[in-house]
Amino acid sequence: MLKILVTGGAGYIGSQTALHLLDEGYEVVILDNMMNGHEDVIPNEALFENQDLCDIDGLEQVFDKHDISAVIHFAAGPSIVSEKAEALPSYYENNLKGTLNLFEVMRKKNVKNIVFSSTAAVYGIPDSTPITEEMDKNPINVYGYVKYMTEKILADYNRSGLINYVALRYFNACGADSDGRTGELHNPETHLIPLVLQTALKKRDKIYIFGDDYDTEDGTCIRDYVHTEDLARAHVYALKKLFEGKLTAEAINLGSGEGYSVRSIINEAKKITKVDFAVEVTERREGDPDVLIASSAKAKELLDWQPEHDLESIIKTAWNWHKSLE
Ligand code: UDP
C-alpha cells in the first residue's frame, strides 16, 4: 500500500484530503506541528507525527520511520499574515525554511513526487477574468509571495531532476466533509461563509459586507467558491498523474469557473439556515479585487477534474459542520 505524507494534515483542507486518501486505499502519515492544526480532525485511521518542518533532523526521522511514497504539502503559516516586523521573520522561517527542509529530506530519501497546496493569491489583482494559469503572477501579500516563491523553487528542483510536482492554486476553499468528519476551524475566523454561518448561529451580531460599490451587478465582490471535498479529490488525481509520470511540473487552478457575490452568499445562507440575521455594509477591505474567477479548463484537461458540489451543497455541509460545533 502506498504511504502518503500529508504535511498540515490537521488543518482544514489537509484533513479533508487525508480522509479522501484513506477512502481511496492509501496509507496516510499526517505531519503537523499543531500550530494551526486541530486534533479533532485527524482521522483515526491516519498515522500522526507531531513534528515541525523546521526541525530537519526530526523530519528526517519521520522519513526513516515510514516508507513514504509521495508528499502532499499543505503545512503553512496562517493565510492572514501580519507584515509587522515581529511577525514577518517567523512567518518566513515557518514557511520557506520548513518547505526547503522538506525538499531536502525528499532529495535525501529519494522521494520524487509532491502535490503542493498553492493559491489564487499568486495572481494578485488580475487584469481580467477568468484567470488562466499563464497570466501574470503579482501577489499583493506575503502569503501569496511565499506560495509563488515555493512554486518557483519547485520548478528549479524539477529542472534539476530532483522533484516532480503539481502545484494546485485554490480559489475560495469552503464547505465541510459530507459525513461531518472535518470542516473549517480558523481562529480568528476571517472567511465569509463561516462568518455568515456563525452569524446565523447568533455567535455574531451581524455580518459586515466589506463594500458594495465594486464593479459588479450588486456592487459586492465576486469570488469562485470550491468545496474542500472537490479540492481533496483533485489532490488525489494529481498524485496519480505524478505516479504515472503523466505530469511532472504543473501549476493548475482549482476553481469552479463560476462566481458568486457576497450578497448572493448571504442570501443563500439565509435560505438554507432559515435564519434572518443582520447584515451591514461597511468599508472596503484592503486589496480586494472586484471579481476573482478561475479558468478551470486546465484542471479539466490535465486532471479530468471538475467540482461536484454547487453553492447549495457548500453552504449545507458547512452549516451542518458549524451546528455540530455547538
Ligand atoms: N467578506 C465580507 N465580509 C466578511 C468577510 C469577507 O464582505 O466578513 C468578503 C471579502 O471582502 C471578499 C469575499 O467576502 O470579497 C470573500 O472573502 P474571504 O475572506 O472569505 O476570502 P478571500 O476571497 O479574501 O480569499
Give 213-231 pLDDT, tens digit per residue. 999 999 999 999 999 999 9
Whether the per-residue pLDDT at 81 is higher than 60: the answer is: no
Q: State the catalytic residue, choosing from 143, 165, 237, 260.
A: 143
Mean pLDDT of 298-326: 97
pLDDT in the model for residue 85: 66
Nearest to 47 by CA among 72, 22, 25: 22
Cβ atoms of residues 118 and 151 within 8 Å: yes
Q: What percent of the chain has pLDDT over 70?
A: 97
Residue 97, pLDDT score: 93
Residue nearest atom 18 of ligand 1, based on CA coordinates: 191
Please report, for residues 18, 26, 210, the alpha-carbon distance to residue 93 in angstroms, rounded to integers and kept in the order given: 25, 31, 32
Q: What is the pLDDT of residues 116-168, one digit of tens each?
A: 999 999 999 999 999 999 999 999 988 899 999 999 999 999 999 999 999 99
Instruction: Tell me the residue ranges of DSSP E strands in the chain.
Output: 3-7, 27-32, 47-50, 70-73, 113-119, 164-170, 172-174, 206-210, 222-223, 225-227, 249-254, 260-261, 278-282, 291-292
* pLDDT interval class at 14 (50, 70, 90): very high
Each residue's pLDDT tens digit, 156-190: 999 999 999 999 999 999 999 999 999 998 888 99
Beta strands (DSSP E) in 171-316 are: 172-174, 206-210, 222-223, 225-227, 249-254, 260-261, 278-282, 291-292
Give the chain's mean pLDDT. Answer: 95
Residue 143 a catalytic site member:
yes
140 close to ligand 1 (CB < 6 Angstrom) = no
Evaluate whether 150 touches 314 at the Cβ level (below 8 Å).
no
For ligand 1, whether the C-beta of 289 sits within 6 Å is: no
- Torsion region of 245: left, alpha or beta (phi above 0 gives left; psi -120 to 50 gives alpha): left
Mutate to test the pocket of ligand 1, among 143, 204, 210 (most ligand atoms within 8 A of CB): 210
pLDDT at 311: 98
Any atom of ligand 1 within 6 Å of the Cβ of 209: yes
- Mean pLDDT throughout 68-82? 82
Which atom of ligand 1 is nearest to 196's Cα? 8
Q: What share of the chain is helix, strand, coil (3-state, %, to 5)?
A: 40, 20, 40
Q: Of all atoms in ligand 1, which is nearest to the CA of residue 121?
A: 25
Single out the residue of 60, 94, 65, 99 nearest to residue 79, CA to CA.
94
What is the rounded radius of gyration, in angstroms, for the C-alpha atoms of the chain? 19
Ligand 1 near 288 CB (within 6 A): yes
Q: How far is the CA of 119 from the centre of ligand 1 (A)?
A: 15
pLDDT for the residue 80: 60
